[in-house]
Amino acid sequence: MIEIKEAISKKELKRFVKFPFKLYKDSKNWVPPIISEELKTFDKSENPVFNDADARFFLAYKNGEVVGRVAAIVNWLEIKKQNINKMRFGWFDFIDNLDVSKALLDTVTKIGKDYNLEYMEGPVGFSNLDKVGVMTEGFDTIAPMITWYNHPYYVEHYITHGFSVEKQYSESKFPFKNVKPESFKKAQGLIKKRYQLKELNFTKTSEVMPYADRMFDLFNESYASLSSFVEITDIQKEYFKKKFISFVNPEYIKFVVDSEEKLVGFAIVMPRFADALQKAKGKLFPFGFRHILKAKKNSKDVIFYLIGIHPEYQNKGVHAVLFNEMYETFTAKDIQYCYRTPELEDNEAIHKIWKHFNPVVYKRRKTFKKAL
């Protein structure tokens, strides 16, 4: 018999966070989160997303042993401002037992019906800066820190339980040697002159912070048209500044501004921390922090985390300015491989930006949907 219990106490939430450590203990490609940071994500006193969202966390037990977990999420910004009556669910992991996955999904279904929502979709997080999608291809490659990894059997569980594909994402990579500067070097100079733009580079995190709010505003503007978008609020900006900006090498943050210092484009790249996080095994101390700092300083692989262009400047080549600045930085650091985060497969604009680098899709993932 499967028993579902809500994780409320700190002890139960820690059990929720640590379940995948058991589920993937033999996996060479799963990347563990930092346990303390994951707990902060679920802490209503720490994460301001709870000002505009409700979330409940559930564990599935069989014979007294944890065999699955799921987070049931209601994002009120999405429901009230966008009129998208969606029940979200994420952090959905389970052993290969249909009764376990069904019991967890039935729990989410009940909550969605209690709120009179129309459908449920997952796996997704609270917002666009969270992880998204169940992996459907690429199981033999290591997962970056910013995506979920899962066993191949997950997909069959969604299908068996009556879910259909809602959104499709792909993750691509390319060797840095594929980057030919002639594809953007001349263009970026002409674009800066035509639109009176200039690039901003940084060597210290403190130099980035005065622009951080404007960056999140631009993120909201440039991503608003995507079907999965939920805006970042002012309160959330402060949270993400502490959580992300201080974690990124300042030289990997590039901005483009106009003649009035208005931000019109940005790019954020992160070192690839996957190997370091595997060595850390979910803990910063005593040695995890050392592995992460080493990767931050020395990693030869990078992940393009976010790129945003103001709607007025889209299709005007502003990305060439960003690429030029990244090219100079990557050359100096002897970067070998570039990775991209999950991107919607129907986002043609973003795919066109990368076409000159001959990227190869190495992972695919999907979200699944079911009417309530």
For the chain, the structural domain boundaries read: 2-169, 175-363
Q: How is residue 363 written in tokens?
A: 């992972």
- One fold for 2-169 and 175-363: yes
Compute how many other C-beta atoms are within 10 angstroms of the C-beta atom of residue 164: 11
Q: Is 91 left (phi over 0), alpha (psi -120 to 50) or beta?
A: left
| pLDDT recorded at residue 227 | 65
β-partners of residue 60 are 4, 68
Q: CA 140 to CA 135: how far, in whole Å?
A: 11
Helix (H, G, I), strand (E, B) or coil at 203: coil
Q: How many helices (H) and strands (E) does the chain have?
A: 12, 14
177 contact partners, CB below 8 Å, separation of at least 6: none
Beta strands in 84-163 (DSSP E): 86-94, 119-122, 134-137
CATH match of 2-169 with 3.40.630.30: yes
| pLDDT recorded at residue 228 | 65
Peptide bond into 342 cis (omega under 30): no
Residue of 123, 120, 132, 122 whose CA lies nearest to 87: 120
β-partners of residue 73 are 55, 88
Is 208 within 8 Å of 202 (Cβ atoms)? yes
Residue of 272, 312, 310, 266 whose CA lies nearest to 291: 272
Helix (H, G, I), strand (E, B) or coil at 179: coil
Residue-by-residue DSSP string for 249-299: -GGGEEEEE-TT--EEEEEEEEE--HHHHHHHTT--TTTHHHHHHHHHHH-
| pLDDT recorded at residue 348 | 79
Helix (H, G, I), strand (E, B) or coil at 358: coil
CATH match of 175-363 with 3.40.605.10: no
| pLDDT recorded at residue 347 | 80
Long-range contact set of residues 7-14: C-beta below 8 Å, sequence gap at least 24: 7/57, 7/58, 7/59, 7/69, 8/57, 10/39, 12/57, 12/59, 13/39, 13/42, 13/57, 14/39
Is 312 within 8 Å of 182 (Cβ atoms)? no
Q: Kindly give the confidence (pLDDT) of every residue in the chain, 372 residues in length, as a single tens digit, with 9 standing for 90 and above.
A: 999 999 999 999 999 999 999 999 999 999 999 999 999 999 999 999 999 999 999 999 999 999 999 999 999 999 998 899 999 999 999 999 999 999 999 999 999 999 999 999 999 999 877 899 999 999 999 988 889 999 999 999 999 999 999 999 999 999 999 999 998 999 999 999 999 999 999 999 999 999 999 999 999 898 877 766 788 888 888 888 887 787 789 999 999 999 999 999 999 999 999 999 999 999 988 888 899 999 999 999 999 998 999 999 988 999 999 999 999 999 999 999 999 999 988 887 788 888 889 999 999 999 999 999
Cα separation values, 189 from 10, 177, 264, 304, 358, Å: 54, 22, 16, 23, 23
pTM: 0.93
Q: How is residue 76 written in tokens?
A: 């009120």
Q: How is residue 98 written in tokens?
A: 């249909």
Q: CA 342 to CA 305: how far, in whole Å?
A: 9
Backbone phi and psi for residue 298, each to the nearest 5 degrees, phi listed first: -115, -5
* Rg over CA atoms, the chain: 21
Q: CA 231 to CA 225: how far, in whole Å?
A: 11
Say how far residue 203 (Cα) sits from the centre of its chain: 25
Work out whether the CA dihedral 19, 21, 22, 24 comes out positive or negative. positive
Q: CA 195 to CA 189: how far, in whole Å?
A: 10
